[in-house]
């Protein structure tokens, strides 16, 4: 039987030989504080947009955007953000709204605070950030030799130049890690399966009333009845049910009623699952992550010092030494495939791994063009195998450790902390 981590494609630790400190994350939202390192749009008093630095506690981003949309009486398309954040956290991030400043001053939402507001001509967009700054408390750690373990893991990470850039459990759903399964069904064109997974898959970590509602729907497939039994906080499930109660066989249109970024998240989660498997397999085969081999595809550094996901440098026998120096100097990054409709695959040993994983899933590039749900189509890109970490430090209390660090955008704090903790997936 697969472990919960194996279910999302992760089967290894980079620091496997070092015992973990154990512990749990997110006992309280205050234990997980994340601050976006943003590309702030320039202030312009004549601009059409309101830029807001917004701080929120224990809010899932799609639900927060929905609440803001309702309170401000504007469409979701007039609200933009650069990155998504963990729900169980205190998060600070940039958002832009196509509304006057006065409209923002008139609303109040629990656990949401506007830190600064100004006018701009430039809306933010998804991905328009540099990274995130974290302060994370790990509770209930094992006190035995804790400093030695922290130092040993840190030494391995510094030697590597970062940590394996696995997509963390948040990508797949902390309470119900099923988003990749929904994405897989979507790219196979099985919209009924995708909708029913979203509606009926339950886990022991959900509230009892949610589980009972899901189980009843799985047994009866009575969408009208489900509208009565599904709790009101399951907002997006109820969006599907509302459509299916009127059109019980129109599953693709039901999914299309969901926010576009949520639909894309399903497909991206499946691509993330494939990437996790590819990265796990490379580590298992003891192929280095921080040194390219022939056939690898390298991402050059962009003007912000981040991996440039739009430009690829294939590693060949003729440029191998030059590319190795580029990676060693921090000017390039060895990559793995986030497989999609226009994916470029590696050659050599890495290419073998990528084609093996894709073959085992029995998928092709064309599957990621979804004619009946074009918002779910994905071209695919390549992703760095190592997530860089900056300003890493910690402080130890009697039964907890507080970590401080910064990560590039798209990198998961939990994937760093799992190397230290080596706990069950539910604990992080």
Q: Which residues are catalytically annotated?
A: 86
Per-residue burial over 20-38, b = 16 or more CB atoms within 10 Å of its CB, e = otherwise: bbbbbbbeebebbbbbbbb
Instruction: Give the β-pairing of 129-141 and 22-24.
Output: antiparallel
Q: Which of 123, 129, 127, 126 is nearest to 78 (CA)?
A: 123
Distance, CA of 214 to CA of 44 (rounded, Å):
49
270-272-277-281 Cα dihedral, nearest 10 degrees? 150
For 205, the token pair is: 């970590």
Q: Which residues contact 136 (CB under 8 A, 6 or more apart)?
A: 25, 31, 32, 33, 402, 403, 413, 417
DSSP for 208-252, please give it. Answer: HHHHHHHHHHHHH--HHHHHHHS-TT-HHHHHHHHHHHHSTT-HH
| DSSP output for 17-69 | TS---EEES-SSGGGEEEEEEE-PPPB-TT-SEEEEEEEEES--HHHHHHHHH
């Amino acid at each position: 039987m697969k472990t919960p981590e194996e279910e999302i494609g992760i089967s290894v630790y980079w620091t496997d030989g070092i015992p973990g400190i154990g512990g749990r994350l997110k006992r309280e939202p205050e234990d997980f504080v994340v601050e976006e390192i943003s590309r702030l749009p320039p202030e312009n008093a004549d601009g059409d947009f309101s830029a807001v630095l917004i701080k929120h506690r224990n809010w899932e981003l799609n639900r927060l955007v929905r609440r803001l949309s309702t309170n401000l009486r504007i469409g979701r398309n007039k609200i933009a953000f650069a990155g998504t954040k963990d729900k169980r956290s205190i998060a600070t991030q940039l958002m832009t709204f196509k509304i006057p400043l006065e409209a923002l001053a008139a609303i109040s939402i629990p656990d949401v605070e506007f830190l600064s507001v100004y006018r701009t001509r430039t809306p933010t967009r998804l991905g328009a950030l540099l990274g995130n700054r974290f302060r994370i408390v790990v509770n209930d750690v094992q006190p035995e030799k804790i400093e030695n373990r922290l130092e040993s893991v840190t030494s391995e990470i510094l030697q590597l130049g970062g940590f394996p850039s696995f997509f963390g459990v948040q990508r797949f759903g902390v309470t119900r890690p099923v988003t990749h399964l929904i994405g897989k069904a979507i790219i196979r064109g099985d919209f009924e399966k995708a909708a029913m997974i979203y509606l009926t898959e339950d886990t022991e970590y959900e509230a009892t009333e949610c589980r009972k509602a899901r189980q009843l729907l799985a047994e009866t497939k009575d969408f009208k009845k489900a509208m009565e039994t599904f709790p009101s906080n399951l907002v997006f499930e109820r969006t599907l049910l509302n459509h299916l109660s009127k059109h019980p066989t129109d599953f693709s249109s039901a999914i299309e009623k969901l926010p576009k970024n949520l639909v894309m998240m399903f497909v991206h989660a499946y691509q993330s699952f494939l990437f996790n498997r590819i990265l796990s397999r490379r580590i298992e085969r003891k192929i280095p992550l921080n040194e390219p081999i022939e056939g690898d595809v390298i991402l050059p550094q962009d003007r912000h010092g981040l991996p440039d996901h739009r430009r690829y440098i294939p590693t060949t026998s003729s440029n191998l030494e030059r590319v190795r120096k580029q990676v060693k100097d921090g000017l390039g990054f060895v990559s793995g495939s986030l497989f999609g409709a226009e994916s470029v695959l590696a050659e050599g040993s890495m290419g073998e791994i990528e084609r093996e994983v894709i073959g085992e899933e029995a998928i092709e590039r064309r599957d990621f063009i979804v004619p009946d749900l074009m918002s779910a189509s994905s071209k695919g890109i390549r992703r760095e195998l190592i997530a860089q970490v900056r300003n890493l430090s910690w402080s130890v209390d009697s039964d907890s450790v507080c970590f401080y660090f910064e990560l590039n955008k798209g990198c998961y704090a939990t994937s760093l902390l799992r190397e230290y903790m080596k706990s069950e997936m539910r604990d992080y």
